[in-house]
Amino acid sequence: MHFLDQAKIYIQSGAGGPGAVSFRREKYVEYGGPDGGNGGKGGDIVFEAVEGLNTLIDFRYSQHFKAPRGKGGAGRQQTGAGGKDLVIKVPVGTQILSEDKEVVLADFTKVGQRKAMLEGGIGGRGNLSYKSSTNRAPRQHQPGEPGEELWVWLRLKLIADAGLLGMPNAGKSTFLNAVSNAKAKVGAYPFTTIHPKLGVVLHKGQDFVMADIPGLIEGAAEGAGIGDRFLGHIERCRVLLHLIDATVDDPIAAWKTVREELTGYGAGLADKPEILALNKADLLDEELMEALCAELAEASGSTVLPLSGATGAGLETVLDHVVKEIGTSPDTSEQSEDREWTPLS
């Protein structure tokens, strides 16, 4: 399945049905009179968050959504049928933004959450409603109010408890495959991960969702590499697991590069709890790993955990720290701060 986390769509609620002009022609009714009914209400545009979706790819091929209009009124005081509401199903984690991307109109963080975005037009009045003591045979009627229309942006921010980040080739995909049910692509070249991946991790009776995003390089905030567009998918995470490749020339510089990109991105990512793990420990001797961990711990002011995603060494300890942080960190699923983002070309 292709992954898409941004889409622009057009939505339009249904117009109200027209009122009817009608007069009774009944046997034994001496004077008859007007009996035109009112038009029906147009359908609303409703968004609903549902299970089983984790991409907005469907909105690449269907970009216009119009609710049905209300039916017209009829004689014998019959009111027209209302138009059915058009329910647009989106993944949990979807935000709806205004066309200028300045205002968040809705944020869906739970399954079953619904929001009526546009209301259908009210049906027009039939000529029966105009009858009065001085206007016994009115022929006035209303055509029904038009529906509302709007262009909106949909942006998906995946819902995950822990976010996995680091530079390209830090071993994030290997780690995610080792601890979860994910089957992320692994390769000996940069940017094997080109879109976010989710995995469900089960550790000591507790399960949580971990999100892996494409690697960050220096200048990602300015669009270098894949850029920082996918950082939005870890905005809702309670804790960040930062993997650093122990085999690079300068692990401390690699750590600083990612931290600078988090700060440049904003949205509170730099302030989230962070767990540092020095990966690929199986490729270095124990003494050198200890020295690198000590240097990185001194530079970062945090505990650094040795790890090998390939052999599984250190996985239990890292997951212990992740579970502990998830249990103590506040729930940040209601993320209010947003930043500008670049739509797909």
Residue with tokens 């039939």: 126
> Binding site annotation covers 195?
yes
Burial class (CB in 10 A: 0-12, 13-18, 19+), 81: middle
> Binding site annotation covers 193?
yes
> Binding site annotation covers 52?
no
> Binding site annotation covers 96?
no
- Structural contact between residues 42 and 11, judged by C-beta atoms closer than 8 angstroms: no
> Binding site annotation covers 14?
no
> Binding site annotation covers 7?
no
> Binding site annotation covers 210?
no
> Binding site annotation covers 166?
yes
Q: Which amino acid is at 61?
A: Y
> Binding site annotation covers 214?
yes
CA 13 from centre of chain: 22
> Binding site annotation covers 167?
yes
> Binding site annotation covers 215?
yes
Q: Which amino acid is at 49?
A: A
> Binding site annotation covers 194?
yes
Q: Which amino acid is at 230?
A: F
> Binding site annotation covers 54?
no
> Binding site annotation covers 13?
no
**CA–CA gap between residue 108 and residue 272 (Å, rounded):** 22
> Binding site annotation covers 127?
no
> Binding site annotation covers 84?
no
Tokens of 176: 């995610």
> Binding site annotation covers 17?
no
> Binding site annotation covers 336?
no
- Structural contact between residues 80 and 74, judged by C-beta atoms closer than 8 angstroms: yes
What three-state secondary structure class fits 317?
Answer: helix
Give the orientation angle of helix 286-300 with respect to helix 251-265, to 10 degrees.
30
CA-based torsion, 61, 66, 67, 72: positive or negative: negative
Q: Which amino acid is at 333?
A: S
Phi-psi sector, 44: left (phi>0), alpha (psi -120 to 50), beta: beta
> Binding site annotation covers 282?
yes
> Binding site annotation covers 213?
yes
> Binding site annotation covers 172?
yes
- Spatial neighbors of 333 by CB under 8 A, at least 6 apart, are 109, 159, 236
> Binding site annotation covers 49?
no
> Half-sphere exposure of 53 toward its Cβ, with a 13 Å CA cutoff?
24
Residue list, annotated binding site: 166-173, 191-195, 212-215, 279-282, 308-310
Residue list, annotated binding site for GTP: 166-173, 191-195, 212-215, 279-282, 308-310
Residue list, annotated binding site for Mg(2+): 173, 193
